[in-house]
Every structure is written in C-alpha cells, then in structure tokens.
Structure 1
Amino acid sequence: MISGWLLLLVVVVAVVALVGMWLSMTASRLNRLHIRTDAARVNLEGALQARAAVIGVLRPDLQSHVGRVGGVALRDEEMGARSDVENVLLQSLTPDDLRNPGFIVASTKVDLAARFYNDAVGDTLGLRSRPVVRAFRLAGSAPLPAYYEAMSAATENP
C-alpha cells in the first residue's frame, strides 16, 4: 500500500517538474523573442534616421519634416504615429529624389530592417497568443509589440 502511494507521489512530482521545466523554457523563448524584437526595432530606428538624414541632404527644404520624423519615437504605442510622419515625408519627395542612389540604398535598408522587425513581431505575437502563455502569464508585463507599417519608398510618387 505504501509503495503504491509513494509511486503515485513520485509520478506526480515528476509530471509537475516536467511541466515546470516546459513552462520555464517557453518563458525563456518568449524573453528571447522580445529581445530579438527590441534589437530589430533599434536597427529599424537607425535605418529610418539614416534615410531621414539622406533626405535632409537631398532636400534641405524638407528639414522641418525630417525634424518631425526624428521627434517621434519608434515605440510600440507610437508605431502608427511614426509610420504617419514617415509617409508624409516620403510623399514630399519628387520622382528625381526617389531615383537618387543614396536614397535608394537608404530606403532598401529601411525596407529590410522593417521586414526583419515585422518578422520578429509576428513570431513574438504568435507565441504570446498561445493559451498556455496567456494562462500562466509568461509574458509578464512586457508590452505587446506592434507592426511597423509604412509605405515603401518604391511605391511613392508613381
């Protein structure tokens, strides 16, 4: 009789330990995804600032727009506001500006950085949407990342 209860206790402890380890590994993965998202956001911010600097050199008359772009932080809660000011700046460019090699290189870097960032956001949101992650609150107090959606410079001013 005692050996049956002992065996049941060992099995329960083993199952609880395995579930705890699985939850811990899931939380660690989620933390790494948040770190990846933050790193991609920093990279995107740098690419956007570099493109704004190129625009400022190409079109000194747009310095006020360039200043507004730099004044809006690239944060989860302000991602839409940053996209809006970027779009206004891009719409101010002429077709000749869009064909400038320096602008093309800078815009390509922005497009790639935005793609990497949005991929990281998608992976993070995918894991955070799982019921187990929500039920055990494995994301803690980390804010939900937001996608960066701005028009591509290649589609501007046809």
Structure 2
Amino acid sequence: MITSFVWAGLALLLIAVYLSWTAGRLDRLHARIDATRAGLDAQLLRRVSVAQELATSGLLDPAASLVLYEAAFAARQAEEEQREVAESELSQALRAVLGDAEDIAAVREAPGGEAALHELAEAVRRVPMARRFHNDAVRAARSLRRHRTVRWFRLAGHAPFPMAFEMDDEPPGPLAERVSA
C-alpha cells in the first residue's frame, strides 16, 4: 500500500518536472520570438531609413526618387496589420528603381553614390536573414504549442499565438550580386 503511494507520488513528481520543463522551454521560445522580432524591426527600419536617404540624396532621377520615397514613407508609417504589405511594396520599389545594372552604375558614378549603394546593399542583405531568424523561432514555438500536453495544461498561458512575418524581401538583382561579390 505504501509502495503504491510512493510510486504514485514519484509519477506525479516526474509529470510536474516534465510540465515545468516544457513551460520553461515555451517561455524561452516566446522570449526568443520577441528578441528576433525586435531584430527584424531594427533591420526593416534601417532599410527604410537608407531608402529614404537615397531617395532624397539627389542621386536618382526625380521619378525614381518619388517612387522610392513614397514606398519608404508608407513602410515607416504602416500600422502593424499592414506592415508586411508595406515592406513588400518597398522591396518592389527598390527593384523597380535599382533593377538594372545601368541604374546601379548611374548611382555609383554620382558623388557619394558608392557609399549610398554600399549602405543600401548591407541593409537589404540583412532583412531576409532577420526575417528567417524570426520565422524559425515562430515555427519552433508553434510546433511546441501544438503538442497535446501544452494545450491540455495550458502551458502557453495567455500568450498570443506566434505569427510569422511574411513579406517580399528579394533584393534588386544587381544590388544583390554586388553584395555577394
């Protein structure tokens, strides 16, 4: 009889340890999501800032400057629900303005153009990496949250279900080649 109580107590202790470990793991994943989202936001803001600087620098023709500035301004001012669309539109504007090697060459030849292109290339290169890190963290948390144990014991608490950040982050072709070279 006492042996049964000991075994039952041991089983309950093991279950409690497992649940505690799983809750801690889930908490760490949510903290990682917060950190990667902050990193993604910083890289997106850097890309917007560099795009706005390029648009107002006089290195581009007036039409291209206007297109790029409006897309960058919209991305900077976008509400959270519209952020993915606005950032995708900025990517499209960057490809439209700097899509040809001739466009890149024209900017490079202008005074200060080489530095502006280098800064933009770095900003554009970092966005997909930050987005990938964020989406990997989201994927891991979603996977853990789908387990029955997590759902039955409500180990996620009141934390919102993590959402991936989906956007068009393909850089302008010649600019991407320039960074990788």
- Whether contact under 8 Å (2:52, 2:73) holds in the other structure is no
Give the TM-score normalised by structure 1: 0.85
Give the TM-score normalised by structure 2: 0.75
Question: Are positions 1:69 and 2:75 aligned together?
Answer: yes
> Partner residue of 1:87?
88
Gaps spanning 5+ residues in structure 1: where?
A: none
Quick one: which amino acid aligns to residue 90 of structure 2? L
Quick one: which amino acid aligns to residue 102 of structure 1? E
- Which whole-Å CA distance do the structure 1 matches of 2:126 and 2:23 have between them? 32
- Which whole-Å CA distance do the structure 1 matches of 2:5 and 2:140 have between them? 38
Quick one: which amino acid aligns to residue 6 of structure 1? I
- Whether contact under 8 Å (1:40, 1:116) holds in the other structure is yes
- Which whole-Å CA distance do the structure 2 matches of 1:17 and 1:73 have between them? 47
Write out per-residue CA displacement over residues 90-135 of structure 1, whole angstroms, 9 at most, x where no aligned residue: 22231236x9322211011111111110110111111011111111
Question: Are positions 1:133 and 2:134 aligned together?
Answer: no
How many residues of Structure 1 are paired with residues of Structure 2 in the alignment? Answer: 148
* 3-state secondary structure, aligned to 1:154: coil
* 3-state secondary structure, aligned to 2:130: helix
Write out per-residue CA displacement over residues 67-108 of structure 1, whole angstroms, 9 at most, x where no aligned residue: 32222355xxx3xx21100111222231236x9322211011
- Which whole-Å CA distance do the structure 2 matches of 1:63 and 1:155 have between them? 16
Quick one: which amino acid aligns to residue 53 of structure 2? V
- Which whole-Å CA distance do the structure 2 matches of 1:37 and 1:6 have between them? 46
- Which whole-Å CA distance do the structure 2 matches of 1:126 and 1:155 have between them? 34
> Partner residue of 2:45?
49
- Whether contact under 8 Å (1:90, 1:156) holds in the other structure is no
Quick one: which amino acid aligns to residue 75 of structure 2? V
* 3-state secondary structure, aligned to 1:147: coil
> Partner residue of 1:7?
3
Identity %: 35
Gaps spanning 5+ residues in structure 2: where?
A: 57-65, 109-116, 175-181
- Whether contact under 8 Å (1:91, 1:156) holds in the other structure is no
